Structure 1
Amino acid sequence: MSEVAKLDRHDIVGIVTIDSPPVNALSAAVRGGILDNVKAAIADPEIKVIVLTCGGRTFIAGADITEFGKPPKPPALNDVLSTIENSPKPVIAAIHGTALGGGLEVALACHYRVATKDAKLGLPEVKLGLLPGAGGTQRLPRAVGPELAVKMIVGGDPIGAAEAHKAGLIEEIVEGPASGAEAFARKVVAENRPLRKLRDDDSKLAAAKADRSIFTNAVAAITKKSRGLEAPFAAADAVGYAIDLPFDEGLKREREGFLKLLTSDQSKAQRYAFFAEREAAKIAGVPEGTKGRKVDRVAIIGAGTMGGGIAMSFANAGIPVTLIETAEEQLKRGMGVMQKNWEATAARGGIPADAPAKRMALIDGKVGLEHVKDADLVIEAVFETMAVKKEVFGKLDQYAKPGAVLASNTSYLNIDAIAAETSRPQDVLGMHFFSPANVMKLCEIVRAEKTAPDALVTAVSIARKIAKVPAVVGVCDGFVGNRMLAQRGKQAEKLLFEGALPQQVDAVVTKFGMPMGPFAMGDLAGLDIGWRSRKDRGIKSEIADALCEAGRFGQKTGKGYYKYEAGSRAPLPDPDVEKLIDETLAKLGLKRRAVSDEEILERMMYPMINEGAKILAEGIAARPSDIDVVWLYGYGWPIYRGGPMYWADSVGLKHIAERLAFYAKETNDPSLEPAPLLKKLADEGKTFASLAQGKAA
């Protein structure tokens, strides 16, 4: 019998237990274990009913995606499901933890399902650029109806046990998965309940068969944010097969759709991103087994936009926060903004109605830095100037308890210089949150020269606890994300001096898949910020300066690189901007030329790749995939392109190096010369991925 599954007999109840830590993924061994033990239970004349349960912290949490793209190993999952579904004895799935992907497909093949109250059930394959490939798109609509099935399959988000029970996906909510399922199993036998095969039950499809708009409207609502992605639309088509085709034909078409997506570039990129995120949590250069410090309370200094957003992230995770300001008025304003944000989310149904009050109760507003004294982690979120941050850290020695981790939320500044203001630099690091901090997933964890390994582990683990994606980076101006973004900004500005218009540049960038182009982003942030900074440093940028001199500061003034109609954030091309650019170029004795979209794309993306190569060579990022994680979760890089370094490998490093050398010469810009690491990899026909595999120096 299998090492990952066993069969126990409790008189008439056969209990098949899967035990394959950590998440009972459907590897070939687990599939074989289920098949062998279910067959053995069917063959045992004493057993009248079968319970399928899992050991450890969860039910089957999905497929073993390390098997994807490799030759298939028997048994096929569909063969396992067919055996379960066609069992002459009732089979009950006992769900706890998560039943996701293939795990839920196993449960759907069972005749009945029960779950613990905290269980989550879902088909998230779309997030890997796939669709469910073992009957999920055919059985789930029959279990819950096509509207909820579309939400779960095309949207990819799981539902809780209460919603699953209400929708008919599970029969009962039980206390213990195995014991609760066993009691339910005995009831099934005592009541002589029929075998409910979802494949044979079309009752919940009847309304959509009579009025297909029920289905199409649900699809339209859920795919609004799926621009550029293939999988959500393929998944929607597959759910449609359940309505339009007999079960076996729908199953066949689903499988064809799954296999097509499995070999697609998009799914390969999305699966890469999945592993890159997990890899980023592994900290290079930290001794194995290093434990983080205990964090029971967090203090956040500054109740402005960033500080408030960070406080919300901790309260969302149930972690108490002391929110500190210099004056009562600023504190009151910050607390009010958080309250309104949560109340607006609750009004939309995003969180329970009682959540705003519960979360606000976790935030203790205080005036004065001395109130950091009980915090295990202190996060400074004050103005982005070195003088102010140094002043705060200079005082933290006096008030923070020994062993507290001291973090600066800075997007550019030198953490080593900040740490030098304290007598405990080993406790100091950066935690760069992205705005709005309660929404954006990335947190760049900045390792300073003297940061202790356990402080670093603490920051990474707490970031994960508050549902952020941590990426450890080194100290340099702008760290990883903003340092690369600066190269794109430099080229965007140069393109205006050569003949491109803001709307052309932005259109190329958004067509590539980014949420915004550089000029629309500038308008959103406020052009006056850069203008003041340039004046302080004695730097000129004639076109941007001319816009600001004309009072065009961006969205806040209704005019920037674009114009904005009252109450709208939609950027509209403005002939006045084109005129201003022409006049500025005439003053500088420059002539506009036609700039192709291809050149714009190359000059937007390739200099960032080049900077990424320098970041890797300097050890600012440990792995190319860490850079990709930063861009995927902090800057809206399209997930179906895998991240800038992954995308660069797909384009070809030789081509990128050649084009950079060409633009360096054509535009007389030595900063575009290929970085030594990029040139070396290109010359050797290697990829950035080969660095992680230890195949390149």
Structure 2
Amino acid sequence: MTDLSSPSQAGAGPVRLVAASPVAVIEIDNPPVNATSQAVRAGLLAAIHEVERDAEVEAVVIACAGRTFVAGADIREFGQPPREPHLPDVINAIEACSKPVVGAVHGTALGGGCEIALACHARIADAGAGLGLPEVKLGLVPGAGGTQRLPRLIGVEAALDLVSSGRTVKAAEALRLGLVDRIAGQDLRQEAIDFARELIGKPIRRTGALPANGMEAEAAAKKLLEIRRKARGAEAPGKAAELVLLAASLPLKEGMARERETFLELRSSDQSAALRHAFFAEREVARVPGFDSAEPRPVQRIGVVGAGTMGSGIAIAFADAGFEVKVVETSEQALAAGQARIADIYEKQVASGRLTAAARDERLGAIRYGVGVDTLADRDLVVEAVFEDLEVKRALFRELDAILRPGTILATNTSYLDISLIADATSRPAEVVGLHFFSPAHVMKLLEIVRTDRTAADVVATGLAIARRLRKIPVVCRVCDGFVGNRILSRYRQQAEYLLEEGALPHEVDAALEAFGFPMGPFAVSDMAGLDIAWARRKRLAPTRDPRERYVDVADRLCEAGRFGRKTGAGWYRYEGGRREIDPVVTALVEEASQRRGLRRRPIPPEEIQARIRAAIVNEACKILDEGIVERPLDVDVVMMHGYAYPAWRGGPLFEADRIGLQPILDQVMERAGKDGPGWEPAAGLVSRAASGARFYP
């Protein structure tokens, strides 16, 4: 045991040096996440210099107080001129230290925190620790040697994966990769001190001096191409990968200079500004004006009505978060199918290595099953996930209202229906709320929390608290057809169908949107979700549709032919062995629709497709804001990025409209389609807020 009974202590700031013989401890204490602020950088550099001067100290441990190791940069310094000492200089000083330095990692070592760990001569991690270089998620590359030291430590191929994806690796994987040397048992700090003592007098292993074995040129080029393809237009992943590959051919100093140059270039880019907006919006969206003081209700016992795809996913999401779940169905047969569906999802997670068998058993044990809603009388919250039909849901809520005790919250997972009408079927409309999960519910992070005019403030606050526990990103909105996401989706899908009548084909529209940055275009997404869902909504709205409204019936004809998408083997495309293929049957239907409309088909370039879809999205977003469905533009941006895969490097549709201006979008539409053509009408309908060029983000 190291004798720390009478250490000398220096430093009153966020970095403390506990100088003991023979192992000193440098402790960073900068709550909440020990970010690398200017004070931390200065304190760390001063501590290393003091260690060098102190003859009694023969080795050093760098550790952190609180719940985590250094978890990244200080966000309060974003956008400010950098102040000395710069992090690369501090990290170089750690690596150059003449005495062995051991990093003791707990919590997360991210970004600059991971780079500090890389500069240490050895690393020991708590079993629950995570390490990563997530800078690409902010449109950046590591800026303090991460792209140069990581490939020297774990190899170029593994480093390419981590740096270009920004993913965090847990301690066990970090040990396999060689990113850490040991995993601690019970006492990380003491084991780190013991590790440092072992290294006294031995040759120091400096990460920056290790060789980085390169990849063959052909393999490297193929990997770069794959990374850029996955990035779908984001610049940072490809730039980060290029830097990692340079580590094999450049000395550390030159590689770090190139890294710093790229970092500074990207920091001032539009993409980085957009991704920083996305980062802050994800955190701000849960702070909803007017609900700050409302106290959430205690919720632990959850009921889920319906064990289909959505109900099963919702049950898993709650079980994963530690809730007690009961799933009910109308028959033993339907219940058995739902139970098998849930078990299958967990089995696949175990098979892929994402979950241990023990964790699977624990989560399956948290879910119980029953037939009939009368078994839910003891629940704190009941979520319905039954057929998307207003009268079906109203009847269910009347039945639940008679069974559930006072104070139980009733939630509907409806995608489009008027929740006020569902709430009116109960004697407790104040306790009815929409919890609109996105499919698959146990995977997708977005959760729309829909409040009626009578939903109680503490019920909304409970929804927000549940979202935090589920690790979802919540957006609070009011009632309208489709809420935020599906309302916007219906408008831009409508515009996509107009494009079909005028000359485009489904695969051309999808390709243009994928080139824009979406992972899938609207027709491929429709096939995956199932065309019958939107068809049911169109039939519901048909009696109230304005007869003057332009209506494209190709999707209806597909549904009438039993083509509901992937699940039936055919929709907008046909599917052979799971592969999506262009279908001549659909081409013929589209061309016939043009003839019936009396339109001469013309080639429509990708730029026009993109401009018109963007105009439709921004148009509807403006209307949603003007109607008060949401409070802030960032609510729309978050919904579109996390529910509909709007490219995060664009920052969301309204942030992007601020950046590029709305008039260019309109100009593109009008130039491409012609002022008198059918394609310009939806864009010309932009509401006054948008048409005037008013900014969404002051």
Same fold (TM over 0.5): yes
Partner AA of 1:489 in structure 2: R
Partner of 1:181: 192
Decide whether the 8 Å contact of 2:566 with 2:575 is kept in 1: no
Partner of 1:266: 271
1:115-157 Cα deviation digits (max 9, x unpaired): 2111111111122222211111111122222233222212221
Equivalent residue pairs, number: 677
Partner of 2:696: 688
Partner of 2:8: none
1:507-562 Cα deviation digits (max 9, x unpaired): 22222122222333333344455555545635674434444455544444544433
Asked whether 1:393 is paired with 2:397, we answer: yes
From 289, 292, 305, the counterpart of 1:287: 292
Decide whether the 8 Å contact of 2:72 with 2:112 is kept in 1: yes
1:447-504 Cα deviation digits (max 9, x unpaired): 2223333322222232232232211112111111111112112222223333333333
Deviates more, 1:442-451 or 1:594-603: 594-603
Q: 1:221 to 1:334 in 2, by over 3 A?
A: farther
Asked whether 1:250 is paired with 2:255, we answer: yes
From 32, 48, 54, the counterpart of 1:38: 48
SS of corresponding position for 1:80: helix
Q: 1: CA distance between counterparts of 2:290 and 2:30?
A: 30
1:62-120 Cα deviation digits (max 9, x unpaired): 11244344311111001111221122222222211100110010111112222211111
1:384-407 Cα deviation digits (max 9, x unpaired): 111122222222233334433322
Q: 1:186 to 1:532 in 2, by over 3 A?
A: closer
Q: 1:359 to 1:247 in 2, by over 3 A?
A: same
Deviates more, 1:174-183 or 1:52-61: 174-183
From 479, 484, 487, the counterpart of 1:480: 484
Decide whether the 8 Å contact of 2:619 with 2:683 is kept in 1: no
Decide whether the 8 Å contact of 2:69 with 2:109 is kept in 1: yes
Asked whether 1:56 is paired with 2:66, we answer: yes
TM-score (norm 1): 0.90
Q: 2: CA distance between counterparts of 1:639 and 1:227?
A: 10
1:640-673 Cα deviation digits (max 9, x unpaired): 2111111111220344466789988643847842
Compute the displacement of 1:24 (Å): 0.9
Partner of 1:226: 231
Partner of 2:618: 609
SS of corresponding position for 1:8: strand
Deviates more, 1:595-604 or 1:307-316: 595-604
Compute the displacement of 1:578 (Å): 3.6
From 427, 440, 443, the counterpart of 2:444: 440
Compute the displacement of 1:432 (Å): 0.6
Q: 1: CA distance between counterparts of 2:159 and 2:236?
A: 15
Q: 1:235 to 1:33 in 2, by over 3 A?
A: same
Q: How does 1:492-531 map to 2 (within 5 A)?
A: 492-531=496-535
Q: 1:216 to 1:498 in 2, by over 3 A?
A: closer
Asked whether 1:619 is paired with 2:623, we answer: no
Asked whether 1:236 is paired with 2:236, we answer: no
Partner of 2:639: 630
Q: 1:91 to 1:533 in 2, by over 3 A?
A: closer
Q: Identity of counterpart residues, as a percentage?
A: 47
Asked whether 1:383 is paired with 2:395, we answer: no
Q: 1: CA distance between counterparts of 2:220 and 2:599?
A: 57
Asked whether 1:673 is paired with 2:681, we answer: no
SS of corresponding position for 2:640: helix
Q: 2: CA distance between counterparts of 1:317 and 1:531?
A: 34
Partner of 1:694: none
Partner AA of 2:103 in structure 1: A
Q: 1: CA distance between counterparts of 2:683 and 2:151?
A: 56
Partner AA of 1:117 in structure 2: A
1:582-623 Cα deviation digits (max 9, x unpaired): 334434444334544333222211121011112112221121
Partner of 1:135: 145
Partner of 1:47: 57
Decide whether the 8 Å contact of 2:232 with 2:515 is kept in 1: no
Deviates more, 1:593-602 or 1:430-439: 593-602
Q: 2: CA distance between counterparts of 1:509 and 1:632?
A: 14
Q: 2: CA distance between counterparts of 1:441 and 1:65?
A: 23
Q: 2: CA distance between counterparts of 1:331 and 1:438?
A: 19
Q: 2: CA distance between counterparts of 1:287 and 1:355?
A: 35
Asked whether 1:348 is paired with 2:358, we answer: no
Q: 1:38 to 1:357 in 2, by over 3 A?
A: same
From 558, 572, 578, the counterpart of 1:568: 578
SS of corresponding position for 2:576: coil
Asked whether 1:320 is paired with 2:320, we answer: no
Q: 1:176 to 1:462 in 2, by over 3 A?
A: farther
Gaps of 5+ in 1: 691-697
Q: 1:88 to 1:326 in 2, by over 3 A?
A: same
Decide whether the 8 Å contact of 1:520 with 1:571 is kept in 2: no
Q: 1: CA distance between counterparts of 2:683 and 2:656?
A: 21
Deviates more, 1:592-601 or 1:381-390: 592-601
Partner AA of 1:147 in structure 2: E
Q: 1: CA distance between counterparts of 2:419 and 2:561?
A: 37
Partner of 1:194: 203
Asked whether 1:428 is paired with 2:437, we answer: no
Compute the displacement of 1:198 (Å): 0.8
Gaps of 5+ in 2: 1-10, 546-550
- Supply the RMSD in Å over aligned alpha carbons: 2.7
Partner AA of 1:314 in structure 2: F
Partner AA of 2:202 in structure 1: R
Partner of 2:307: 303
Q: 1:107 to 1:565 in 2, by over 3 A?
A: closer
Compute the displacement of 1:295 (Å): 2.7
Q: 1: CA distance between counterparts of 2:28 and 2:317?
A: 36
Q: 1: CA distance between counterparts of 2:409 and 2:560?
A: 44
Q: 2: CA distance between counterparts of 1:523 and 1:110?
A: 51
Q: 1: CA distance between counterparts of 2:564 and 2:38?
A: 59
Decide whether the 8 Å contact of 1:2 with 1:33 is kept in 2: no
Asked whether 1:275 is paired with 2:285, we answer: no
SS of corresponding position for 1:244: coil
Q: 1: CA distance between counterparts of 2:515 and 2:182?
A: 47
Partner of 1:368: 372
SS of corresponding position for 1:74: coil
Decide whether the 8 Å contact of 1:50 with 1:90 is kept in 2: yes
From 86, 93, 100, the counterpart of 2:110: 100
Decide whether the 8 Å contact of 2:614 with 2:665 is kept in 1: no
SS of corresponding position for 1:570: strand
SS of corresponding position for 2:326: strand
Compute the displacement of 1:330 (Å): 0.8
Decide whether the 8 Å contact of 2:669 with 2:683 is kept in 1: no
1:148-201 Cα deviation digits (max 9, x unpaired): 322221222111122223333223322333333223333333xx2332211112
Q: 2: CA distance between counterparts of 1:365 and 1:638?
A: 39
Q: 1:546 to 1:412 in 2, by over 3 A?
A: closer
Q: 2: CA distance between counterparts of 1:183 and 1:600?
A: 63
Decide whether the 8 Å contact of 2:303 with 2:379 is kept in 1: yes
Q: 1:659 to 1:677 in 2, by over 3 A?
A: farther
Q: 2: CA distance between counterparts of 1:535 and 1:287?
A: 40
Q: 2: CA distance between counterparts of 1:142 and 1:102?
A: 17
Decide whether the 8 Å contact of 1:664 with 1:673 is kept in 2: no
Compute the displacement of 1:365 (Å): 1.2
From 113, 125, 150, the counterpart of 1:115: 125
